[in-house]
Structure 1
Amino acid sequence: MKNILVTGGNGQLGQSLKQLANNYPALNFLFTDYEDLDITDATALDSYFAAQQIDACINCAAYTAVDKAEQEEDNAFLLNFQAVLSLAEICARYNAQLIHISTDYVFSGRQNVPYTEEDDTDPETIYGASKVRGEAAAIGYNPDTIVIRTSWLYSEFAVNFVKRMQELMQERPELTVVYDQVGTPTYAGDLAAAIIEVINFKAANPETAIGGIYHYSNEGVTSWFDFAVAIKEMTKATTTILPVTSDKYKTAAKRPAYSVLNKEKIKTTFGISIPYWRDSLAKLLAK
């Protein structure tokens, strides 16, 4: 049985992995959060890995307060860069596979075709810059690291766009949602399943070099406005939803106008089938 450490276990992706854990009896998942394991503490990491004999680490922990990061740069880089470097070092020391989760915010959003893993990063936020540094540190120190960039994550857990829209549609007769930011929603349950497929692939092909950057989101393209309309339709809400431009919402951090991710690499390498975003949204809402 392989021991799989999941950091950030109380977040959306961590809790989605918890939901799936019982389906994989050959994998022993160890879920931690800050209270259990401070990943910014290299000594604590070393003690934990030595005691638990970790075979793989899925790093779901991150500083994700995008706007707040503009004023808390040190905190963002501590968790998104320095802690990731520590994890890369410790995984290399104990021969454990590191799977690190990153974001579409590493790109500027000025492109108009889906971003590939080879496209240059050009973040326009502190959050995005901290995630770029984390990616580079992890792969630079430990080339076996697998970085998975994702976008627009939502689930039945924590705070996210789908849950917030459902709440607002019950409270208000009218909502405005931006239509000039385009990307792809990602159901955390689908991403969790894909990560487990990656782990199983590595276990079955231990000599195959698969380190590097991969993209994962659901299939398809939409705007936040159309995403909201889909939620309205599927929940049979009566709220009127109006499209607005991003300049109507002043935020500390600029959002990418276009952050569609090309997923061919992860599909080809691991044989992963990715659901269409509307199908996954319907699956979640049916729960």
Structure 2
Amino acid sequence: MDKRLLSLGHGFSARALAARLVPEGWHIVGTTRSADKMDQIAATGVEPVQWPGTDLGALIAEFPNILVSAGPGPEGDPVLAELRDAFVAAASGMRWLGYLSTTGVYGDHQGDWVDEETPLTPATRRGQARVVAEAAWQSIPDLPVHIFRLAGIYGPGRGPFAKVRNGTARRIIKQGQVFSRIHVDDIAAGVALSLDAPNAGAIYNMCDDDPAPPEDVIGHAAALLGLPVPPEIAFEEADMTPMARSFYAESKRVRNDRIKSELGWSPLYPDYRSGLAAMLELGETEEP
């Protein structure tokens, strides 16, 4: 297998994948918008490229495997907006393209279960933008697209511990609210399995096995730290930003049966309790 990967939008999930692949001999090129992050990326064994600002056409033509982590903005998918022609030209010779999407494309199901066959009825602008972006990637002829719909991502440096420690964590209660989650290392494991066994057109939900109310996660994090459990605040009374409030517009439980059966994936952290315990054990509780 040709172990070359171009990572467009080399963020949290892509860095976890690189940490898995670089020791296996992969050559990874990762893009970043910020010149300040170039050295940080290089220190992980990934070749950094600043983009926008660099012509990526030659890399897209050369690299057989491409991961797209950059999310859509107000003007749509930023990668396709600038580079669609390059992908059209390279599609037939490409081995694998992974697109990191979100389970937000399913919208609100009032706590019921969804899977990859569930109609896409997003309830937020972010979810709507993801539906459009998924369709845009799928519309390019011969492009070997693999879509990963990710639940709420957490992991080292991205979790509830810092807020619990500094007293800003809140247990916001909305009747019937439930979320699915995924540890970033489990995302990396699933994407790596797909790289090993490409299946163009595949769509995979990625989440753990235990959807749970958000207040339960905050309470458990406090208990692990031996700190007081933050008091309950009714959703209707909570002072929240529009972005934070929008997360509560959707309640659903996400099934992960397909990626388990097709790729043999099994989450290392099947619930938030195991994931948080591992983070605390490693001492990775603060923002990097």
- TM-score, normalisation: structure 2: 0.79
Whole-Å separation in 1 of the counterparts to 2:83 and 2:209: 28
The amino acid of 1:125's aligned partner reads T
Residue 278 of structure 2 corresponds to which residue in structure 1? Answer: 283
User: Aligned to 2:101, what secondary structure does the other structure show?
Assistant: strand
Identity of aligned residues (%): 17
User: Aligned to 1:222, what secondary structure does the other structure show?
Assistant: coil
Whole-Å separation in 1 of the counterparts to 2:119 and 2:161: 36
User: Aligned to 1:32, what secondary structure does the other structure show?
Assistant: strand
Contact 1:111 1:258 in 2 (8 A): yes
Residue 238 of structure 2 corresponds to which residue in structure 1? Answer: 248
Encode CA deviations 1:18-63: one digit per residue, 9 max, x unaligned: 32233422x3222222352537x8x92312224xx21111112225
Residue 88 of structure 2 corresponds to which residue in structure 1? Answer: 89
Q: Measure how far apart 1:112 and its partner are.
A: 3.5
Residue 150 of structure 1 corresponds to which residue in structure 2? Answer: 150
Contact 1:175 1:239 in 2 (8 A): no
Contact 2:211 2:253 in 1 (8 A): yes
Residue 286 of structure 2 corresponds to which residue in structure 1? Answer: none
> Which of 187, 191, 201 is equivalent to 1:211?
201
**Larger displacement relative to structure 2 (168-177 or 271-280):** 168-177
How many pairs were matched up?
260
Residue 31 of structure 1 corresponds to which residue in structure 2? Answer: 30
Residue 252 of structure 2 corresponds to which residue in structure 1? Answer: 259
Residue 261 of structure 2 corresponds to which residue in structure 1? Answer: 268
Unaligned runs of 5+ in 2: 35-48, 283-288
Contact 1:88 1:98 in 2 (8 A): no
Residue 103 of structure 1 corresponds to which residue in structure 2? Answer: 102
Contact 2:111 2:178 in 1 (8 A): no
The answer on 1:3 being equivalent to 2:9 is no
Assess, with a 3 A threshold, how the Cα gap between structure 1 residues 14 and 81 changes in structure 2: closer, same or farther.
same
Assess, with a 3 A threshold, how the Cα gap between structure 1 residues 86 and 147 changes in structure 2: closer, same or farther.
farther
The answer on 1:201 being equivalent to 2:197 is yes
Encode CA deviations 1:61-98: one digit per residue, 9 max, x unaligned: 225xxxxx7xxx33xx2437646856753551542411
Whole-Å separation in 1 of the counterparts to 2:29 and 2:79: 21
The amino acid of 1:58's aligned partner reads L
What pairs up with 1:71-82 in 2 under 5 angstroms?
73-74=74-75, 77-79=76-78, 82=81
User: Aligned to 1:186, what secondary structure does the other structure show?
Assistant: strand
Assess, with a 3 A threshold, how the Cα gap between structure 1 residues 98 and 282 changes in structure 2: closer, same or farther.
same
Q: Measure how far apart 1:249 and its partner are.
A: 4.3
Any runs of at least 4 consecutive aligned residues in structure 1 with deviations exceeding 4 A, and if so which? Answer: 83-88
The amino acid of 1:2's aligned partner reads K
The amino acid of 1:263's aligned partner reads N
Contact 1:81 1:131 in 2 (8 A): no
Contact 1:99 1:146 in 2 (8 A): yes
Assess, with a 3 A threshold, how the Cα gap between structure 1 residues 173 and 144 changes in structure 2: closer, same or farther.
closer
Q: Measure how far apart 1:233 and its partner are.
A: 1.9
Q: CA RMSD in A?
A: 2.7
Residue 115 of structure 1 corresponds to which residue in structure 2? Answer: 114
Q: Measure how far apart 1:147 and its partner are.
A: 0.3
Unaligned runs of 5+ in 1: 64-68, 203-208
Residue 67 of structure 2 corresponds to which residue in structure 1? Answer: 58
Residue 49 of structure 1 corresponds to which residue in structure 2? Answer: 60
The amino acid of 1:283's aligned partner reads A
Contact 1:59 1:99 in 2 (8 A): yes
